[in-house]
A and B are shown apart, each in its own frame.
Chain A
Amino acid sequence: MKGNKMAQEEDNRQATFNRLIDAAVEMETDEDVLVRRVLSTINTPHRPRIWTALLMRTRFAFAGVVIIGCLVMITGYILAGSLFMDPGERVLAVSFGAPEAIMSISTPRAGES
């Protein structure tokens, strides 16, 4: 009998708790406004900005130009460095990956044997 009463109390508490959660989350909304907003956005012709459109059309060419530009800059940096470097710096450059062949075309400067 006592067990039944306790179970009944627990059921009531659980039901109250469930109602509380529903009430805590629930709010009034207006779906009609949402429908109107979405449909008006869909029906408004979207024209991308000129730069965005251009970039979208030429994105692969643009990426290619950037990559080639970077490679040219890196090669130029290594070449220029090898031509005007001190011997000590040249050793450092080689150890960082500059090829020996490039190093050998550099002109010896005063003081170098």
Chain B
Amino acid sequence: MLRLVALGDQAALSELITRFGHGMIVLATRYLGQQDEAEDVVQDVWLRVWKTANRFDAQRGKAKTWIYRITTNLCIDRLRRLRLRQMIGLAQVCIEPVDATSNPEKQHQDSEALKRVQAAINKLPDRQRMALLLTVAGGLDAEQVASTLGTSRGGAEQLIARARRKLRNSVYPEDIPK
């Protein structure tokens, strides 16, 4: 598919956006905490994919991993820039929980636990948050997360396990060993 994109096929690009766009927007929104910034980042990712698709080497990994690596890098850059702007007083970075769904029934269900999990996700260290979001929002496995974050498989598994442990402790605090 990326080969077609490299040849200038816009239908192939649309197909890729439809396939991966949702996961990328969710990942970027949960990582940056601001949906408008996240949409800008994802748009930048697709423009970069359009311009550099010819550089993709299928032997070095899957297209999905390559696209998510670009997303991850741009998200990290954007968060760094947002924090800098916040530091000099030009912007406010507040990673707030974005509404999970517009379905009121689902929203009501376990809303307290849901809020605790969302707050815990926002408090995770950047790398752990990114690893967790890549698995949950992007649907990547540990091997793909490792390739996306430029770490070993063991390192990626550890990041995900630590993140999940922290979240679990926030939902079931009684499970924390004393």
Q: Which residues on A are within 8 Å of B, measured CB to CB?
A: 13, 17, 20-29, 31, 34-35, 37-39, 41-42
Contact = CB atoms under 8 A, between A and B. Distances in A.
Contacts of B102: 28
A78 B67 CA distance: 54
A30 B29 CA distance: 13
A22 B100 CA distance: 10
A41 B168 CA distance: 42
Contacts, number: 85
20 contacts: A17-B171, A17-B172, A20-B113, A21-B167, A23-B106, A23-B110, A24-B100, A24-B114, A24-B117, A25-B30, A25-B100, A25-B136, A26-B101, A34-B17, A34-B42, A34-B46, A35-B17, A35-B18, A42-B10, A42-B13
B56 interface: no
Given A24-B117, A25-B26, A27-B100, A38 B136 contact: no
Given A25-B133, A29-B26, A35 B99 contact: no
Interface in B3-48: 10, 13-14, 17-18, 21-22, 25-26, 29-30, 39, 42-43, 46-47
A38 B53 CA distance: 15
B14 A29 contact: no
Given A27-B98, A28-B102, A29-B22, A21 B136 contact: yes
A24 B100 CA distance: 6
Interface string B69-103: 00000000000000000000000000001111110
B22 to A, nearest CB: 5
Interface string B106-121: 1000100110011001
Closest 10 CB pairs of A and B: A24-B117, A31-B21, A38-B46, A29-B25, A24-B118, A25-B136, A35-B17, A34-B21, A35-B14, A29-B22
